[in-house]
Amino acid sequence: MKVAVIGTGYVGLTTAVSLAMGGHQVIGIDLVDSKIAQLRQGRSPIYEPGLEEALVSMLGQGMLDFTTKIADAQEADVLFVCVGTPEAADGTANLSYLEAAVSDVQSLQRVAPRSRVVVIKSTVPVGTGDRIASELRESSDLHIASNPEFLREGSALQDALQPSRIVIGTADETAASVLEKLYEGVSAPRIATTRANAELIKYASNAFLATRISFMNELARLSEALGTDITTVARGMGLDSRIGPEFLRAGVGYGGSCFPKDTIALLQLAQQHGVSLSILDKAREVNATQPIWFLQQLHKRLPDLAGKQIAVLGLAFKPDTDDIREAPSLKILEALQKAGAKVAAYDPIASPAVRAIFPQVQYADSPAQACQGAHAALLVTEWKECVELDWKSIKASMESPLLFDGRNAWPSTQLREAGFFYTGVGKS
């Protein structure tokens, strides 16, 4: 099929590449000339394992192209809307990019009228798809569907090619049949439902996963007080088939582009309808305070951080991404600087983006360099480079061997036996 993808951000680019790999002829559309030029040269503007290699391959095979002009999508059977819906000042979803994309679709339809399926893949408030369908009702050739994405940063291409489920939200038979044909080569459970249900499935999924993380982080605080080990507790919980092991890892909190904005957007939506989501509200509160709670463990060993050198290992909100949006590291760096600490930070990918926010921080070329002369080292993102270290060399280079594991990823027993003071999150 011939497909156009409006928006070449994280979701749009991954969608475009994966559909091209599925045998469809795809054109990606974006307003930024420099980004389109970069993409046409086979360079991805985002870091995602395997994505750039796949991009180059699809360009070379002639299955994928990019443009700044909506008119270049005249032959498209399907139009995917993958623009951002960032958090507005009041916490609601900012739909201005979506409205602009819908306007572009209307312009295209006036210039080159034909039957097309418009697929909203952007995360939008419940009812948005129905409203857009109503706005576009004047054109009987446009068929509107909601098809939310469930991509995990760090494994987005794999998730697009082998999704956990495909949700098709529409009451339009043409849209439903076209999307079924589009995805006929993909083996995944299908959910055929309304647009509103599909939109809520997306929000509810992210909100529930965020709540699981916050529940474990709050439980880790209790575990710290009780002298128990939250990692063992989590394993014991996860073996229960009703619970499962995913998203039970305690740490310094969630970040990224989805969980923070989607949870507040869902809370705002509930408030508009007079419904209280108190559990989700508390989950956000726990997440907001988790990095500071983690730093309190550091203050117990080093009450006065003024002039102390602190190594911060990992800056992206999770490994295998360069995304620093709402990353816990940002709160940690801010707090350390306010306390007068001298910070040396390392991240294999995200350092340039963080440097623009915290230019006073020293950025190391390796974890070992960041730890040289440090009074304490903090693991914030569990990059492989930050977890698998030469501990004998690290201990010899540090001013004092204090380790604070914000991801419970370091070998605690080995480190304690080697003479380090080690503390994790909720680990006695």
3-state secondary structure of 83: coil
- The reported pLDDT for the residue numbered 257 is 86
pLDDT for position 136: 86
Residues 6 or more apart whose Cβ sits within 8 Å of residue 112? 71, 74
Kindly list the domain boundaries of the chain, sorted by start residue.
Answer: 2-193, 208-423
Q: Spelled out in words, what is the top-level CATH class assigned to the domain 2-193?
A: alpha beta
- Residues annotated catalytic, as ranges: 258
Distance CA 289, CA 277 (A): 19
Q: What angle do CA 110, 71, 43 make, to 5 degrees?
A: 150
- Average pLDDT of adjacent 10-residue blocks, the chain of 428 residues: 96 98 97 96 95 98 97 96 93 94 94 95 96 84 96 95 97 96 95 98 97 98 96 97 96 94 96 96 97 96 96 97 96 98 97 97 98 98 97 97 98 95 92
**205 residue type, one letter:** S
**Topology of the domain comprising 208-423:** Rossmann fold (3.40.50)
Q: Running DSSP on this structure, what letter comes out for residue 215? A: H
> How many residues are there in the chain?
428
d(CA 98, CA 101): 5
pLDDT at 379: 98
Return the pLDDT at 137: 78
